[in-house]
Structure formats: structure tokens, C-alpha cells
Structure 1
Amino acid sequence: MTTSYDLHARAHDAGSQRSLRSVVFASTIGTIIEWYDFLIYGMAAALVFNKLFFPSIDPLLGTLAALGSYAVGFLARPLGGAIFGYFGDRLGRKSILMLTLVMMGLGTFLIGVLPTYAQIGIWAPILLISLRFIQGIGLGGEWGGASVMVLEHAPKEHRGLYGSLVQVGFPIGLVVATLVFGVIAKMPEADILAWGWRVPFLISAVLILLGMFIRSNVSESPVFEEMKARREIVSNPVKEAIFKHPRSFLVAVGLKISEVSWVYMLTVFVVVYATGTLKLPKSMILDAILVAAAVELITIPLFGFLSDRIGRRPLYFIGAIFTLAFAFPLFWLLEMRTPEIVMLTIVVAMSLGHGLMFAPESTYFPELFGANVRYSGASFGFQVAAALGGGFAPVLATALAGYMGGTAGVSVMLIVLALITLVAAMFARETKNEALLK
């Protein structure tokens, strides 16, 4: 009988090394595109959608409505994780990844050609929210498939490092999205509202075609092929992942919830708070996010490498403790309004409150589940936490800051979420030395 050891031994020959590089590149380029698509919506929601699609209510409620439409994409992500996880565990990883890319890209492109509220009234926000929902379903299935593909091709001793390269798609997507919106933000506001906001969404069409071409040439996961040969495919992998592996599922949700809330606070709420309440220039905060994302291009692979040396769990303990300690200082430092301090604050907060825990996720979460439910368990657990922490955190934070007149409530919320992750890390098991197929 072939074992996972045999599969990894084969991965060291020249052909498998080429295949591994192709899979890593295809998965990373896909996640870059997916995160770019998802993040430009968040930036547009923070900066212009309250005026274009929700203009008939007061400014605070308009911003909350725009961020609420942003949250819809997060609510759709668990559905996407369940749907595509189910088929990914039953039919294979590769074909599902092509479909998620198309769905995400189509939703993004169509947002770029939407009429605004001034042109078609209430149908504008309805269509916007519908397309956001489609975006969320696509991303819900994308991350898990890309992570599992890389994990199941990678040699055992370097799974954390290779998996972290999938996660690099997030800061690269953020860099590209921020650069594009940075250019747009320098335009006259009338031009931004008239047509400039559409450009980032329309650009995604070119990126999607590139991603589809690259992904069409990768090979199927050897672990899935072996599992299929053993006839170990289960009839309902989503159900089995939740009810036969409840501890792994709950641990995955808990590990994710602090990190995802933290990063979307930095990239969405902080943009609203800094440009609105603190009256900082849009360019200053966007530049700080850009530099922070660029730094993560280094720190995420570094943390992935460390997870192969010291394990996955220690990174979550360190990241959660940092978040607990930095939840209040984050806003105290931003309120100093000094460009250098604002930038350094965002850079440190991004790498240590986000990257430290984000880096091992694409390896750790799939490792928590057996091969026959791996896509479903990793995707659904990741996306449930993303919906709870990422979708609602910016909305709740905006409401807390608006109605309480300060950020103390926001900091307390971040501390509570960090405590949840800390508890999850205590109940998690270490997986760095476990076989992928037993």
C-alpha cells in the first residue's frame, strides 16, 4: 500500500519539483487576484460607495450601509467554502479552483459597470449587494482549494513555508489594490465619483484571464489521486468535517477570528476612522497600508518558515498576546497624526497582529483534517471565522466609534476576539510532523 511517506518521496524528483513550483505559482497568482478583487470592494466601500449607492441617508448611516454591503461578501464566504469544499473533496481540487476564479472575477467586473443610485435608484444598491454576494461565494471556495493543492504537493519538512506562499497572495493583492486606489485617490473627487472608482474593478478582467491560463496547466493533487484510488472519498465531506471532527472545526474558527478581525480593522475601519474622525489625508493612510503590505511580503514567508521549525501553535500564542497588548496603543498612536508614527504603527500592527497568525493558516488548517474532508473542513472553518470576525468587525467598530465618540469600545472588542484565539490555540494540536494521508 502506498503511504504519504511514499508520496512525499516522489515529490523530490525533478518532475515533481517542477510540478510543485507550478502549483505554488498557480495557487499564489490565483489568491493575488482573488484578494485584489475582494479588497478593492472594501476600499471603495470605505471611500466612495456611501455617496454613490447609499446617498439618501446621513453620513454615518451611509458609511454603515456601505460597510454593511461589504459584510455581505463575508456572509457568502462560508456558503462558498461549503459548496466548493464539498465538490473539491469529491471531484478533485484543480477543476474547482478554475470555477472559483471565474465566479469571483465576473462579480468584480460587473460591479465596475454598475449604474449608481442617481441613475437607477434603489436597484443600484440591490445589484451591488447581489454581486458582492457572488464575490464572497467565489472567494469562499478559492482559499481552501489553493491551500490544499500546495499542501498536498509540498515536501513534509517545508509544508509551512510553501503554504505561506499562498498567503502572500493577500499582501500582494493588497499592494496592487492600494496602489490602484492610491492613484484614484489623487484624482479630483468629482472624477472619482464620476468614473474613477470603476477602474480598479474593470482591471480585474485582465487578471482573471491571466489566472485561468496559469491554472489550466497545473496537475491534480497526488494525495487526492491516491485517496481516490483507495476509494476513500466520502459522500458528504462537509457534514463529516463538522460532526466527525468538531474539535478541529471549532479550533480552526477560533484560531482565525482574531487575525481576520484585526486585518480588516486595519484595512477598512482604520481608513474610515483616520480619514473621517482624525481628518488624515487619504493618501497618508493608503500609503501606510501599502508599506505594511509590502513588509508582509517578507514577514509572511519568514513566519511560514518558522512554523516548520518551531511548530504552528506557538505563532498563534505570540500573535494573540501581541493583539491583547496592542489593542489600545494602536489608536493612541494613530491619534498622534504624525505620518512616520502612523506608518510604523500600521506596519507593526499588520505583521504581528495579522501576518504572524495568517502565515501558517494555509498549512495548519488543512492539516487539522483528514484528506477526505480536508478541503471542506479547512474552507468552511476559515470562512465561518472570516464571516464573523472580518465581515462584522469593521461595521461594529464604526458603530461603536460613532455612537460612543471614541475607540475604547473598539479596542475592547479586539481584546475579546484575541482571547478567543488564545483559547483555541490552547485546545489545538501541533501538526507539523503529521502525515497527510494515513
Structure 2
Amino acid sequence: MSTPTTEQAADPTADPEYAANLRRATLASSVGSALEYFDFALYGLSTALIFNVLFFSQEDPAMATVAAFATYGVGFLARPFGGLFFGVLGDRLGRKWVLVITILLMGGASTAIGLLPTYEAIGIWAPVLLVTMRLLQGFGAGAEQAGATVLMAEYAPVRRRGFFSALPFIGIQAGTLLAAIVFSLITLLPEEALLSWGWRVPFLASFFLILVALFIRVRLRETPTFIELEKHDQIAEHPIREIFTRGLPGVVVGIGLRMAENGGSYMFNTLALAFFVSVVGQEADRSLLTWGVTLGSLIGIFSVPITGAISDRFGRRTVYRFGAVFMLVYAFPAWWLLSLGNYVVSIAVIGIGIGIAVNSMLGPQCAMLPELFGNRHRYLGVAMARELSAVLAGGLAGVLGAYIIAVSGGNWLLLAIYMATLALITTASTFLVPETLRRDLTRLDDAVKVSRDEVGDDVSATTVTIRTVGW
């Protein structure tokens, strides 16, 4: 690479080679995020409306729904193990090739779901196979989003890290939006066609997204910060030991930050549909209600990068805390309005919940989680914070929420209290973490172990240095 000019030093995106790599990294992360959330949103939408009918005994429909949500939760149980396994590889071998492997595993499992026989055809083996595919899907997804988050944070220019790190998460909204649109369209089919072959089509279509993502990621270059680790021979020999000793405070705080964002997301994306059906009855128009998820994803396409950019100016914690408090205040009126059984009102409630409450936290989170961890174990740290919280928040939300609906007869107040509790945990967590704005990502120490004064010094730093920490 040629020596950078004064303009390029002030704005690294002025360097054509850097700008090209940044665009490639953004595209690679976005397509993977779109595939992951297309699959997960599609699975979530199918859980309450299709899988409970096709893959479980119908002797007790309410318990069949609970069992279907349990398989949904199984995917979250697999994610921490995938994050642990691939996180170690990402910190030892690099970010690029781990992302190639995870997209193949995750997308392949999702495609295979579209080929599974139903309970009527093979009995108990139907849910067994469904759980197996869900485990594989979750295992790959456990490192996919962490890898995309780390990749973009390490590629992004320091002073615009919040904005650039949030751009791939448009893929999350695009994937969720695409899943909602596709699901809305297939539910227009006659019920017999929907339950026989229609539901399989979007799962099988995942195969084409795999090919696109794979083509882009193979051409991607390794991130600058990982190259620095290799150059200075500072790659962690025992990243698992490091993350569960020195890095544990960062993981715990990261989990707390994710409780409202992740749990709230899956409550609005999937549980709200099951709750609405419990209120209105089985005659509920399923295709109409999924437009709430579509609206939320459409809002998120704008709200995620905007809140990421705002965090570049006002700090990660300030913006994150706004989103958590908004969800706390929104929880009670939202679930009460859903209990009214009005389609238009419910679509608006779900859209605002996803598009504003959830995504006001997701925007700053894209840069904040990678900034919490040192360079030696960043991939693993982000993966553990994301995926352990996914089990505690997202996975549990479906199972516990479905159980609350079943045993309480659809009590909206209990669901509102549940969501408010998640929001309180996240609000409290924003007071436990130092401001990470513009933190030097080549540092080897974690942000949560640094005094506020020292973190403040990082905000004004304009140069990148390697700091060797004595172990």
C-alpha cells in the first residue's frame, strides 16, 4: 500500500484500497446477517403457526405450541457452544475463514429444514430431526453475528465506528423483513397447500443466499487489528482461559446489555403472534399480523444506522440507555394494546417495539460490544456475551412466554412485567460499563477493567498503538 496522504490520514476512507476493503467487509457482514435473521425470523414465525401443527401431536394443541417453542429455544442453547468453538478459532486463526464456515453450517441446516418429513409421516422422529437441524443452525449462528460485529468494528474508521459498525445490521432488518414478507405471502395459500408444501419454499430458498454470501466472503481480506496481532506475535494461546478469567466482567456486562434488546426482539417477533392468536382465536388472520414484523424491520433499516451514528457523537451508553428506558416505559401499554385483539393497533405496536425500542439499543451495540474487549480475545468475548444472553433472553422468552400464555389464559400483564424486567436489567447494565467511544481496538485490555479517566483519554486519541499488557 502506498504512503497515505494528509487527507487519507484524516479520513481513512479516502484511501481507495481501504475504502474498497471497507465496502467488501460491509457487504460480507450484511449478507451473512441477512441470512441468519431470515432463517431465524422465518423459523420463529413458523413456530407458532406451522411447526406446532406439523411436527407435534395434536392431542393437546396448547402443549404442541409450547413444545414447538421449546425447539425454537433449543437453537439458542446451541449458540453459546458455537460461539465458544468458533470464537476460539476466530481469535487464533482470524475472522475471515470462520465466517466462511459458519455461513455454510447455518445456511445448510436451514435449507435442510425445508426437506424434513412431518409428524404424520414418521411420528416422533419428525421433532427429533427438527431439533437436530435447529441445533446445527444455532451452532453456526453462535459465531456468525459475533464475527460480523467484530469484523466491521475492526474495519471501520475510529470516529465513525458506530455508523459503519451498524451498517451490516441493516442485513438483520432486511433478513427479518424478507422473512416476514415471504411468510405473509405463503400464508395466503390455501391451508392445505401451505401445510403440505408452501412452508418449505422459503427454507429451501436459503441455499441461494448461501452461495451469494460464500462468494463475497472468500474474497474478503483479514481485518487490520488481527493482522497487527499476528505481526507482533500477540495472538492468545488460551483464549478460553482469558475470557473466563480476565474477560469475565466484560462478558457479564455484555449479557446485561443484551437482555432487553435480544429478549424484546424475540418477544415482539414471535411471542406477540402467539399471544394475539390466543386472544382472537385460531381464526386469526395470520398473514395480516406478520406485517407488524415487516413494519418494525422497515423502521429498523433507518433506526439502526441512525442510532449508531448518534452514538458516535453522544456516546454509546447514552443512546443505549435511551433504548432500554423506552422499552421499559413501552412494555405495559404495548401488551395491553395487543390484548385488545385489534389488527391495525397490534401491527403498529409490534412495528414500534421492533423498529424503535429494540433497534435504539442495537444501533450503538454494534460498536459497543467489540469495544468492550481487548484484541486478543475480542471475537470470543463478543460471541459469549451475545450468545449467553441469547439463551437467557431470546431463547427463554419463547418458552417462558408460551408457557405464561398457556397457563394464564393469555394474561397481558404478566408478559408486560416480563419485558419490563428485561428492560430494567439492561438499564442497570448501562451504569456498570465505562464509555467506550473511540476506544483503540488494538489495545489488549478490556474496557470494563479500565478507569473512567483512562477511557476518557482514549476518546481523544487519534493514533493506533499496540499496548503490551503484562500477564
Normalising by structure 1, report the TM-score: 0.96
User: Structure 1 residue 205 and structure 2 residue 207: aligned?
Assistant: yes
CA distance in 2: counterparts of 1:121 and 1:182, whole angstroms? 28
What is the aligned counterpart of 1:120 among 119, 122, 141?
122
Gaps of 5+ in 2: 1-7, 444-471
Could you tell me how far apart the structure 1 residues matched to 2:83 and 2:70 are? 21
Whole-angstrom distance in 2 between the partners of 1:355 and 1:174: 13
Alignment pair present for 1:434 and 2:434: no
User: Structure 1 regions of 5+ residues with no counterpart?
Assistant: 1-5
Q: CA deviation at 1:89?
A: 0.3
Aligned residue in 2 for 1:371: 375
Determine which of 324, 341, 347 is the counterpart of 2:345: 341
Q: Which SS does the other structure have where 2:47 is aligned? A: helix
Mapped to 2, the partners of 1:338 and 1:130 lie a distance apart of 37
| Higher RCO (CA-CA < 8 Å; seq separation 6+) | 1
Residue 55 of structure 1 and its aligned partner are, at CA, apart by: 2.1
1 CA distance for matches of 2:167 and 2:72?
26
Deviations 1:208-247 (A, max 9, x none): 0111011111111111011111011011213312210222
Report how far residue 395 of structure 1 moved: 1.5
* Residue from 414, 421, 428 that aligns with 1:416: 421
The 2-side partners of 1:426 and 1:412 are apart by 22
**Where does 1:278-289 land on structure 2 (aligned, <5 Å)?**
278-279=280-281, 280-289=284-293
Which residue does the alignment assign to 2:454? none
Q: RMSD over aligned Cα, in angstroms?
A: 1.5
Deviation at 1:257, TM superposition (A): 0.8
Aligned to 2:403: 399
CA 1:355–1:87: 2 relative to 1, 3 Å: same
> Whole-Å Cα distance in 2 between the matches of residues 340 and 183 of structure 1?
18
2:355 aligned partner, one-letter code: S
Is residue 308 of structure 2 the alignment partner of residue 327 of structure 1? Answer: no
The whole-number CA distance in structure 2 between the counterparts of 1:418 and 1:328 is 12
| CA displacement 1:151-199 (0-9 Å, x = unmatched) | 1111001110011112212111111111111111111111111111111
Please list, as runs of the form range in 1=range in 2, the aligned pairs for 1:38-77 lying within 5 A after superposition.
38-77=40-79
Amino acid at match of 1:112: G
Q: What is the correspondence of 1:39-438 to structure 2 with a 5 Å cutoff? A: 39-279=41-281, 280-405=284-409, 406-438=411-443
Distance 2:345 2:44 in 1: 24
| Cα offset, 1:71, TM superposition | 0.3
Deviations 1:238-286 (A, max 9, x none): 3312210222111100000111111101111111111232244212211
Alpha-carbon contact 1:11-1:153 (below 8 Å) kept: no
Deviation at 1:35, TM superposition (A): 1.2
Deviation, 1:7, is 9.5
Partner of 1:3: none
Aligned to 1:31: 33
Deviation track 1:276-327 (CA, whole Å, cap 9, x = no partner) reads: 3224421221112111111110111111111111111112211221122111
Aligned equivalents of 1:117 and 1:144: distance in 2? 35
Aligned 8 A contact 1:12 1:155 in 2: no
User: How much does 1:9 deviate?
Assistant: 6.9
Identity %: 37
TM-score between both structures, scaled by the size of structure 2? 0.89
Contact 2:170/2:301 (<8 A) preserved: yes
Q: Show CA shifts across 1:337-392 (max 9, x none).
A: 34432222222211232001111222111110001100000111111001110001
CA distance in 1, matches of 2:339, 2:417: 17
Q: Which amino acid aligns with 1:419?
A: L
CA shift, 1:10, in A, is 5.5
d(CA) in 1 for partners of 2:299, 2:78: 30
Q: Which residue of 1 aligns with 2:463?
A: none
Q: Post-superposition shift, 1:16?
A: 0.3
User: Deviation per CA, 1:26-49, whole angstroms, max 9, x where unpaired?
Assistant: 111111011111221111111111
Residue 115 of structure 1 contacts residue 124 of structure 1 at CA under 8 Å; is this kept in 2? yes
Structure 1 residues 156 and 339 mapped into 2: Cα distance closer, same or farther (>3 Å)? Answer: same
The 2-side partners of 1:246 and 1:286 are apart by 39
Counterpart amino acid of residue 288 in structure 2: M
- Paired with 1:234 and 1:434, the residues of 2 have a C-alpha distance of 20
| Runs of 4+ off more than 6 Å | 6-9
1:132 Cα offset (Å): 0.1
Measure how far apart 1:107 and its partner are.
Answer: 0.4
- For 1:343 and 1:129, locate their aligned partners in 2 and report how far apart those are by CA, in whole Å: 30
User: Which amino acid in the other structure matches residue 419 of structure 2?
Assistant: L
How many Å separate the matches in 2 of 1:113 and 1:281?
A: 26
Equivalent pair of 2:173/2:301 in contact (CA under 8 Å): yes
Task: Letter of the 1:410 partner, please give it.
Answer: L
